[in-house]
Amino acid sequence: MSKENQGLKGKVAVVTGGGGVLCGEMARELGRQGVKVAVLSRKKEKAETVAEEIIQEGGEAIAVACDVLQLESIQEADREIRKHYDGYDILINGAGGNHPDAATSEEYFKKEHLQNEEVKTFFDLTEEGLKHVFHLNYIGAVLSTQVFMKGMLERANPVVINISSMSAPSPMTKVLSYSSAKAGIDNFTQWLAVHMAKENIRCNAIAPGFFLTSQNRNLLLDEEGNYTERSRKIIDHTPMERFGKAEDLTGTLLWLTDQRMSGFVTGVTVPVDGGFMAYSGV
């Protein structure tokens, strides 16, 4: 267990996507530091699992169902959390994901793909799929910030942390809408940092490199647990030659949330990527 951070003890955090691998670990780490954590997930049972783990480790947490695709669901989550806490000090916008209808099956397009029904090309991406992924990763973060930030206005030194991606500065192949949305998250982070500066609300983002999660496991590992071709490309382009572990994010999280450590830091996206972004490939 990490040593308790006195600069965070007693604060209240809202973590969307808190039932997932990465944001679940962020929620648990905040709990270890004495933060009261509202764990939000579309499936409440996933949030409950994380909240129970926080409580078992001696922390305080509640689980709340929240679908960031629906403004009404976010507002209802806010009302539920307000039954327990009168405001928020930390907001982590971690809800996100992808959808097959917003991604191509091949990295490069060739005209002959149009004759192959098994190949999903750029021309096959659906309006519904594109909207779903962009809404989930970008609009959902904006709407969540609108709702929960109202509970931050009377707090001392509140912080918003968005979850970006390696796909923001340099779009990954295949995942068109996801890459566009994460680029939007970086821009939103900068915009919000400026917009809220006079109220002393800091806004930053964390850009994880490549981590194994429940969402990407089938893309990165085959049925025997070995690296896929895409995994090997990632590892070859990561100087530290491994995937990230969820706990690799917690140091950056604690730095960005603690006013004493990063009180003059706002509007930045911090890569936690094993050197991926720094490596040119040669």
Tell me the pTM.
Answer: 0.94
Average the pLDDT over 5-9 and give the result.
87
Average the pLDDT over 1-26 and give the result.
89
Alpha carbon separation from 266 to 48, 148, 270 (Å, rounded): 32, 19, 11
- Given this model, what pLDDT does residue 35 score? 98
- Given this model, what pLDDT does residue 220 score? 80
- Given this model, what pLDDT does residue 230 score? 85
Question: In sequence order, which residues have a C-beta less than 8 Å from that of residue 8 and are 6 or more positions away?
Answer: 30, 33, 34, 35, 254, 257, 258
Confidence band for 2, pLDDT divided at 50, 70 and 90:
low
Average the pLDDT over 232-260 and give the result.
95
Active site residue ranges: 178
pLDDT at residue 1 greater than cutoff 60:
no
Q: Could you give the CA distance from residue 104 to residue 123 in angstroms, rounded to a whole number? A: 9
pLDDT 10s digits, 88-113? 999 999 999 999 999 999 999 999 99
Task: Please state, rounded to an integer, the average pLDDT across all residues of the chain.
Answer: 95
pLDDT at residue 215 greater than cutoff 80:
no
pLDDT at residue 127 greater than cutoff 80:
yes
CA angle, 127 then 66 then 1, to 5°: 120
- Given this model, what pLDDT does residue 281 score? 87
Domains in the chain, CATH or no CATH each: 12-209+244-275 (3.40.50.720)
**Quick count: other Cβ atoms within 10 Å of Cβ 109?**
13
- Given this model, what pLDDT does residue 3 score? 61
